[in-house]
Structure formats: C-alpha cells, structure tokens
Amino acid sequence: MPCERKPMRYGHSEGHTDVCFDDEGKCIVTCGSDGDVRIWESLDDDDPKSINVGEKVYSVALKNGKLVTAVSNNTVQIHTFPEGDPDGILTRFTTNANHVTFNSSGSRVAAGSSDFIVKIVEVVDSSQQKTLRGHDAPVLSVALDPSDEFLASSSCDGSVTVWSIESQTQVAQWKILQKSSDVSNAKSLCRLAWQPRSGKLLAIPVDLTIQLYDRNTWTHVSTLSGDLISQVVNVVVWSPCGKFLAAGTIGGNLLIWDVEAKLCIERQKHEKGFTVCGMAWHPSGGRIAYTDTEGCLGKSGFEFFMLL
C-alpha cells in the first residue's frame, strides 16, 4: 500500500489525548491534558475550534450532536456540537472518569472511573443510571455492545469483565492483563472494542497481541499478532463494516488486520515512536484518526488521516 507522510502538527499539550469523528465524518474531534476539545475540519485546518471543558480531558465521545467528555473534576459533561455550549453534567464519580463511550444509537453513555465503578447513563434523562460494581482497581476502558445487551470493561486489577446491562451482573471475566495500581502505571489502556453490527467478537489488546472472544460462548477464538508489534498494544478499533481491526501500540506502531483472513494488511510506524493512545475510524471506513501522548498532529498513509 502506498504510504505518504506529511509534517507532524501541534494538537494539544504533552500528555494523554483522545479522538473521535462526528457522525458524518466531516470533523475530527480531539481532547487533551490542556483541558481543551478541538474541532478540526481537516488535518490542514490551521484554526480548529477550541472549547475549554476543564483542567484535563481524559476521553471524548460524540453522537447525535452531543459531545461528551470525561473531565478531571470527576464529572462526565455534555456540550452541544458543534457550538460547544455546556449542556449539563451527565454523571459524577468520586475521582476522575478515564473513558467514555456512546452506544450505537447514542441513547446511552458508559463511563469507567478510577473509583473502580462503571456507570451507564441515559442521555435524555441522566437520573436513569445503572452502576456496575466488581472491579478491584481503576477502570481503564469501557465498551457497549451493538445490541445494548452487554458492556465490557478492562481494569487495573488485571481483568476484562463482561456485564449484563439489564441485570447489572457479571457474565464473563478473564484475568488476562497485567495488574497495576493506577491508570498512570498501567502497561496498556486496554481500549477494547465490540465488532460493529453483530457484536459477535470482542477485541481485547493483551500484551503484544489482540485476543478475540466470542459473545455467544465467551471463549477465546482467535489471536492477532504481527512482526512489527514489539511493544504492548494500547488501543484497538473496528472498521464500521466490522471486517477490519486497527491497533495502536505503546511504541507507535499502527497495524490493520483483515480479521477473517487473520492477515495484517497495513503496517506503519510513528517516526518518533510516540505512544498511540486514541484511535477512531472515519464513518466511511476509509480513513483512521489517532492521537499520541505528545499531543502532535500529523497525516500519513494509505487513505488514513492520523492525529499523532
């Protein structure tokens, strides 16, 4: 595949960042440790719109004109999009939320926090919440399955847990991660992801691999790996069609697999080896955006937009 590189750009200050697209793929939205959310019309946008939402922003999600952020004041906030007007607090924790995500329809938001708790909140009525308790350490990542039946979460306690949303109980758990005392000490953010549409497979970054689990049996069915993965996988995202899976690593590698064929079809290397900590597919499936821990912004590759 042809690979094109362009000079990297400043996006946010040094530290953790996250990225998503709007529903139509017209804008790229990033957040960072500077407390800002930025809306980019393209990677050539010299004047992205900037919205300050707090001291630090750990995660951002966007759906149906609702911009949701996990902020360092222990809240999950909503802003209008693209205006950026404050639209209330969705939920609160006793410490910071580390990851937020919408369900497929945009009716629910899930958030995982360093107080070991996962919450699922109805967007139109934030008083309607479900609380999932059972992790023994900070929650790293959360993902809602396409059918709204299950939620998966990863934690510093070394586990990945699948929960029944309705009963708020655990239905599966795997002790497959390295334990850590806090998110800042974790070897990986373990940004896991359900296969779109069917939700048949749950993809989990585990050390130098991606493990795939079947939602019908909760058994491990496949492992994806690659020669270029020399450091821990940090984040994985499915293509909208559910056929391809992209991964970003601590060492700055970007890899894409044809999942059914178990074939790595694209490999790229961050020129400075910065950690990839946020990643999103364009809604059309043709491009990928991702962010790194240095807050830089760049563009490279075969039909891929990269936020580094």
Q: Model confidence at 4, in pLDDT bands (50, 70, 90)? A: low
Q: Is the pLDDT of residue 191 over 50?
A: yes
Q: Is the pLDDT of residue 100 over 80?
A: yes
Residue 27 near residue 51, CB atoms below 8 Å: no
Least confident of 100-114, 162-176, 236-250, 285-299: 285-299
pLDDT tens by residue, 113-126: 999 999 999 999 99
Helices (H), 148-276: none
Q: Among 110, 157, 150, 117, which residue's Cα sits nearest to residue 133?
A: 117
- Region of 178 (left: φ > 0; alpha: ψ -120 to 50; beta: rest) is beta
- What is the residue whose two structure tokens read 């360093």? 114
| CATH fold of 5-297 | Methylamine Dehydrogenase; Chain H (2.130.10)
Q: What is the pLDDT of residue 306?
A: 47
Q: Model confidence at 27, in pLDDT bands (50, 70, 90)? A: very high
Least confident of 175-184, 194-203, 214-223, 247-256: 247-256
Q: Is the dihedral of CA 159, 243, 232, 189 positive or negative?
A: negative
Q: Is the dihedral of CA 265, 62, 65, 117 positive or negative?
A: positive
Q: Model confidence at 273, in pLDDT bands (50, 70, 90)? A: confident
pLDDT tens by residue, 31-76: 999 999 999 998 788 899 999 999 999 999 999 999 999 999 999 9
Residue 91 near residue 125, CB atoms below 8 Å: no
Q: What is the pLDDT of residue 269?
A: 83
Q: Where are the domains of the chain?
A: 5-297
In 3-state terms the chain splits into helix, strand, coil percentages (rounded to 5) of 0, 50, 45
Q: What is the mean pLDDT of residues 86-101?
A: 97
Q: Model confidence at 226, in pLDDT bands (50, 70, 90)? A: confident
Written as six digits, the tokens of 2 are 């042809």
The number of CA neighbours under 13 Å toward the Cβ of 135 is 32
Average pLDDT score over the chain? 92
Q: What is the pLDDT of residue 308?
A: 44
- 155 vs 160: CA distance, rounded Å: 6
Written as six digits, the tokens of 78 are 């909503």
Bridge partners for 159 per DSSP:
175
